[in-house]
């Protein structure tokens, strides 16, 4: 034996790391612990940033809108993972605790149980708030509307009450989470670095030392994750069912014979004509337009003014709603969706003169007709001015419509008198037409 070999054999063996005697959590429990822990901290940070953005300038508010959607999507994911985690925990008991005084074991268990409760109640309060809220849909990563069932259909006052209550819970609980977090992390660090019992390695093996492996191979993954998937599918299904159309599409209207008129026809000059609207969003006014529309116009402009009898005329304006442009990309994306114009189901809006066009003075007219929107007819009176220059007519008309009466963004109503928190109820429609007589 060499001198070196003799020395090595005689030297006392280094004690194994404390963690080596500890068993670790199963891989699934460890993965879920860290994914959920970081997500919750991220969601709190994002939540508080959103608060600031919401009260900023337009750009900040537009950012708020997209971030809030992401916040909701990640938050719901945390909820589903937490369901899976709790189910997994029930089927896979944790490794036996390291030796510690009874009160510490009790405190640790209490914090863990409270954490599990918060992992459900925190995202659920957000989901309840968002589902009762009159703001935009909760689109899961931009894909499907997953508002909780029933809530969106309740009367506005109940929704408001539920939204406020859930909102209070959602604002308060992050502080509870953070307080528990300080206790939880403080305790974990104390075990690791003061007691040196290798506790951290149970939840972060590899990073904080070797462990003796989990107590079992882990079982029940299908049940744990399956239950989360089933809950999610049930909510998506209920949300989609609630959103199915309740009114017939515009077909019946199209089949009706247009009112015949012998009045001269007018050809619209699209370059000089426009169909615009002004709307208010969070106190600021914006102007949007429908860039594409076609009009069939027949009107006897030579008739004498008469308050009682309409002049010979017929007007039908067809508007492909999908082309709507608000000047703000964010609004354009939202306004075509379900609660708003619901373009996939109702691609076209039609204004048609039904009650006649009245000539009130040489230049003042009023068209009485119906606006066919989202499968429903609404009576509309459009006063307009019309001036003639040879065979060219220049027309300007304005009408203020209450969008919620038209079923546009209906769920954004927050007050009985029809005022809206986000988007003003009154929308001013401005029609400018330059047309040539045929």
User: Closest CB to ligand HEM among 48 and 141?
Assistant: 48
Q: How far apart are CA 347 and CA 354, in angstroms?
A: 22
3-class DSSP string for 318-377: EEEHHHCECCCHHHHHHHCCCCCCCCCCCCEEEEEEEEEEEECCCCEEEEEEEEEECCEE
Q: Give the shortest CB-263-to-ligand HEM separation in angstroms.
A: 54
| 19/261 with CB nearer ligand HEM | 19
Rg (CA), the chain: 33
Question: Which of residues 139 and 345 has its CB atom nearest to ligand HEM in the complex?
Answer: 139
Considering the complex, state which of residue 77 and residue 298 has its C-beta at the smaller distance from ligand HEM: 77
Nearer to ligand HEM by Cβ, of 98 and 310: the residue is 98
Find the shortest distance in angstroms from Cβ 332 to ligand HEM.
22
Supply the minimum distance, in Å, between the C-beta of residue 418 and ligand HEM: 22
Rounded least distance, CB 177 to ligand HEM, Å: 6
Q: Which CB sits closer to ligand HEM, 76 or 406? A: 76
Q: Are 279 and 285 in contact (CB under 8 A)?
A: yes
Residue 23 beta carbon to ligand HEM: minimum distance, rounded to whole angstroms: 9
CB of 94 to ligand HEM, least distance (A): 4
Which one, of 359, 358, 280, 293, lies nearest residue 321 by Cα?
Answer: 293
Residue nearest ligand HEM (C-beta atom): 47
Interface residues with ligand HEM (CB under 6 A)? 33, 37, 40-41, 43-44, 47-48, 50-51, 54, 68, 71-72, 75-76, 78-79, 89, 94, 97, 108, 112, 115-116, 122-123, 126-127, 129-130, 138, 170-171, 174, 181, 184-185, 188, 199-200, 202-203
Q: Which whole-number Å values give the CA distances from 344 to 51, 66, 289, 340, 360, in the listed order?
A: 33, 22, 19, 11, 40
> What is the SS3 string spanning 62-110?
HHHHHHHHHHHHHHHHHHHHHHHHHHHHHHCCCCCCCCCCHHHHHHHHH
Angle at 94 between CA 90 and CA 99, to 5 degrees: 140
């Amino acid at each position: 034996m060499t001198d070196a070999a003799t020395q090595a054999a005689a030297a006392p063996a280094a004690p194994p790391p404390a963690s080596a005697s500890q068993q670790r959590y199963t891989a699934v429990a460890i993965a879920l612990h860290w994914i959920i822990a970081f997500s919750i901290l991220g969601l709190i940070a994002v939540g508080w940033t959103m608060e600031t953005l919401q009260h900023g300038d337009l750009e900040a508010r537009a950012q708020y809108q997209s971030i809030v959607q992401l916040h909701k999507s990640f938050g719901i994911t945390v909820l589903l993972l937490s369901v899976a985690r709790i189910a997994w925990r029930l089927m896979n008991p944790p490794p036996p605790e390291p030796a510690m005084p009874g009160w510490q074991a009790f405190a640790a268990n209490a914090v863990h149980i409270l954490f599990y409760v918060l992992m459900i109640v925190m995202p659920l309060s957000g989901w309840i708030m968002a589902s009762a809220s009159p703001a935009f849909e909760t689109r899961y990563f931009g894909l499907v509307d997953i508002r909780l069932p029933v809530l969106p259909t309740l009367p506005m006052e109940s929704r408001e009450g539920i939204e406020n209550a859930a909102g209070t819970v959602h604002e308060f609980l992050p502080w509870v989470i953070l307080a528990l977090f300080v206790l939880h992390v403080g305790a974990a660090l104390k075990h690791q670095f003061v007691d040196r019992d290798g506790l951290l390695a149970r939840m972060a093996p590899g990073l904080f030392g070797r462990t003796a492996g989990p107590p079992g191979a882990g079982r029940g993954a299908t049940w744990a994750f399956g239950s989360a998937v089933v809950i999610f599918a049930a909510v998506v299904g209920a949300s989609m069912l609630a959103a199915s159309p309740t009114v017939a599409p515009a077909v019946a209207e199209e089949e009706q014979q247009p009112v015949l008129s012998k009045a001269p026809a007018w050809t619209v000059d699209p370059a000089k004509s426009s169909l615009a609207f002004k709307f208010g969003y969070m106190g600021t006014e914006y102007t949007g337009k429908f860039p594409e529309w076609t009009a069939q116009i027949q009107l006897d402009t030579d008739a004498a003014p008469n308050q009682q009898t309409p002049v010979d005329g017929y007007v039908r304006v067809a508007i492909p709603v999908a082309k709507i442009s608000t000047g703000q990309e964010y609004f354009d994306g939202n306004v075509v969706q379900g609660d708003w114009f619901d373009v996939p189901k109702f691609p076209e809006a039609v204004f048609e003169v039904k009650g006649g066009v009245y000539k009130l003075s040489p230049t003042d007219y009023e068209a009485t007709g119906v606006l066919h929107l989202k499968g429903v007819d609404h009576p509309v009176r459009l006063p307009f001015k019309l001036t003639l220059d040879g065979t060219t007519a220049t027309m300007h008309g304005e009408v203020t419509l209450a969008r919620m009466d038209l079923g546009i963004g209906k769920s954004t109503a927050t007050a009985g008198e029809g005022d809206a928190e986000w988007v003003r109820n009154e929308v001013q429609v401005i029609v400018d037409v330059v047309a040539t007589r045929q």
